[in-house]
Amino acid sequence: MKGYFAYLGILLLSQCLAYGQEKAQLQDSDLLFSEARELAFNGQHSDARNTLETILSDYPDHSDGKTLMAKTYSWEGNYEEARKQLNRMTSRNRDNQEAWVAAIKNEMYAGNTYIALGLANKALKFMATDPELNGLRAALESELNQRSNNKTQQETASGDIIALKPKSQTWLGKYDQARKRFNAYTSEDPYHQQAWVGAINNEMDAGNLIIALGLANKALERLSGDQEILVLRAHLLKLIDPAAAASNIEKKPVLKKEEVTYRGNRVSVANQVDVFDQVFDPMYYGSVEYTRETPFGKIIPRILYSNRFNTEGLQYELELYPKFSEKIYANISYAYSSSFIFPAQRGRAEVFANLPKGIEASLGARYYDFKETDALVYTGSIGMYRGNYYVSLRPFITPRAGQPLSLSGSLLARKYTRTKDDYWGIRLGVGYNTDLKQLRRDDTLLSETVLFVSSQQLQLEHQFRPQQAASMYRANLGLLRQEFAADPGNFFYAISGGLQYFFDF
């Protein structure tokens, strides 16, 4: 009997110790959560998330910790990540009032008023008497009613009622059905503001951001001052990387025919990185190309690679330099990509002529197909050789429907040293640039698009070939100052650097 009672005593003691340890752990987690909450409210969101991850590693179902984690993303403007986390929470626990409130406010911060209202209505199906949810719904309805009263004269009240049905289809996830109705409304009445807003939100919810941005730009052609559409476009543009891509065309002047060391075949590998002073993460680029010299000119197949925000994509290009005579040749290229990182199609055609007194001139155009819209850019160049120096000026002219022409230009200057393959150069760009890279929303990454923002660019380059070597190297370092498309008048900076290796055989 004594042994039996001793066994019971040990068992009870161990349970008490386990309970005490568990209670101590819970107290520790509560203390950590208080610290994380204080960090989050003081704007130290990254530190708060590190503390919350410690809690969630031990308590994966810690609801307050997961909600606070999502809120920190929302407060930083990362609405997509906040949306993902909050959607998972409200799907698993329909009675999580704090998560519903955070999800509604996240959409309000993002400018998605209709989505926020849809979430409020959905939350109230499970918590019909909750005062905070009812207050949020009332505030959203009041805001939408105010917008309705301030609509442009072109819109009619009957049109808003008609547009309500496809909006409800959007809320139910029936994006294709909603798209057909919105397209019909905007075709019949291009000034129907609510139809445009619904169409844009429908594509955003469906994850088709390239279509949404195209719709926003198209809507603003008719409703240029509409604040709601401007807010939607600004939200989309927050996901866009507005670092201007430099022109890919490289003209290599032949200084003396006897200096040509080209051996008929060339392989080139290049890489580059862009680093931004704010908002955007670094972006990486690479390319591999093969050049074949023929009696009729150069043939260059090329594969381009890009990694933007951990999403990879490829573009395939074929470039030709056909010769028509000793003094006239052309540059023709076509590129294709199935990735949203790149344009679906990109084409270029330009004719060059060598004129007397060391002058070279060209005239051509470039075409960009961005899946939902396209752009035609006219360009040309005038270059001059003087001794070991080469200077070239290139303008870009982009027509825009119903708006003034977009004008920009670049200036290239080089000083050659030992041979035509050895030089130092500087490139200046100013004006408006149409080639912009975009960020992603959820798992969709957008290609370059047609936007017009002011920019200034400075790039230094150096190319050299070791004596009698089959290899050649080119390095570049650049600085870009560019206007935020969503915030005209404010600028950001980007530093770019790259290295290219050539091997002739």
Instruction: Provide mean pLDDT across the span 250-276.
Output: 65
Per the domain annotation, does 104 fall within a domain?
Answer: no
C-alpha to C-alpha distance for 399 and 348, rounded to whole angstroms? 16
Structural domains in the chain (count): 2
Give me the residue label for tokens 């001793």: 6
Instruction: Provide mean pLDDT across the span 336-349.
Output: 86
What is the tens place of the pLDDT at every residue in 477-488? 999 887 665 566
Question: What share of the chain in percent tops pLDDT 70?
Answer: 75
Give me the residue label for tokens 């047609």: 450
Burial 296-334 (b: 16+ CB within 10 A, else e): ebbebebebbbebeeeebebebebbbeeeeeeebbbbbe
Is this prediction's pTM over 0.85?
no
Q: Of the spans 19-23, 164-168, 467-471, which averages the highest pLDDT?
A: 467-471
Domain with 215, as residue range(s), is: 151-237
371 and 318 share one domain:
yes
- Helices vs strands, H then E, count in the chain: 12, 16
Instruction: Provide mean pLDDT across the span 161-186.
Output: 65
Rounded to the nearest 10°, the torsion over CA 116, 118, 119, 121 is: 120
> In this model, does residue 20 exceed pLDDT 60?
no
Contacts of 208 (CB under 8 A, 6+ apart): 444
Closest-CA residue to 449 (of 310, 366, 379, 344): 344
427 and 500 share one domain:
yes
> In this model, does residue 13 exceed pLDDT 90?
no
162 and 271 share one domain:
no
> In this model, does residue 270 exceed pLDDT 90?
yes
Positive or negative torsion for Cα 258, 301, 395, 486: negative
Query: Between residues 319 and 487, which one has the greater pLDDT?
Result: 319
C-alpha to C-alpha distance for 211 and 183, rounded to whole angstroms? 12
Residue at a domain's end among 208, 237, 266 = 237
pLDDT for the residue 499: 95
Instruction: Provide mean pLDDT across the span 295-301.
Output: 91
pLDDT for the residue 387: 74
CA 249, chain centre distance (Å): 24
267 and 341 share one domain:
yes
> In this model, does residue 35 exceed pLDDT 50?
yes
308 and 427 share one domain:
yes
pLDDT for the residue 275: 87
Instruction: Provide mean pLDDT across the span 116-125.
Output: 86
pLDDT for the residue 385: 83
Average pLDDT over all residues of the chain: 76
Residue at a domain's end among 204, 237, 270 = 237
